[in-house]
Amino acid sequence: MPFAGTWIESNTPYPREQFYSLVYDRFIGQELFNYLLALLKHFYAADEEVVHERISEPFRHSFPDWRSFLPAKTTFYFSNEPRGDNDFQLVDTGQRPQWR
């Protein structure tokens, strides 16, 4: 399992690639890494490209088979469409991954 503390139940309607994209691309990448990048740029004038590479390189080293559990060219997030069953739906954002 590539992300500790996460799992996919056998009855989930979503492929693991979409679920892991939600966890890594959105929760870790957008919510955490983008925040840290903004701090590094503001307080230390960090080079954004260097920071991206310093994150992406260990990711690719740690997960050389990442393409088998993450979509290669896009990311997934929650749909804005309300559902009556209080469940969520994942949709393709059309955005390329930033942190892998």
The reported pLDDT for the residue numbered 50 is 97
Condensed to tens digits (0 to 9), the pLDDT of residues 53-88 reads 999 999 999 999 999 999 999 999 999 888 777 677
Which whole number is the average pLDDT over 45-57?
Answer: 97
User: Exposure string (b/e) for 36-72, b if CB count within 10 Å is 16 or more?
Assistant: ebeeeeeeeebeeeebeeebeeebeeebeebeebbbe
* Domain boundaries, position 38: 16-92
Is 58 domain-assigned?
A: yes
Q: Residues 90, 77: contact at Cβ < 8 Å? A: yes
Q: Residues 99, 60: contact at Cβ < 8 Å? A: no
Q: Residues 98, 29: contact at Cβ < 8 Å? A: yes
pTM summary value: 0.82
Condensed to tens digits (0 to 9), the pLDDT of residues 8-39 reads 555 567 788 998 999 999 999 999 999 999 99
Is 6 domain-assigned?
A: no
Residue 1's pLDDT band, with cuts at 50, 70 and 90, is very low
Is 37 domain-assigned?
A: yes
Is 8 domain-assigned?
A: no
pLDDT at 43 over 60: yes
pLDDT at 6 over 60: no
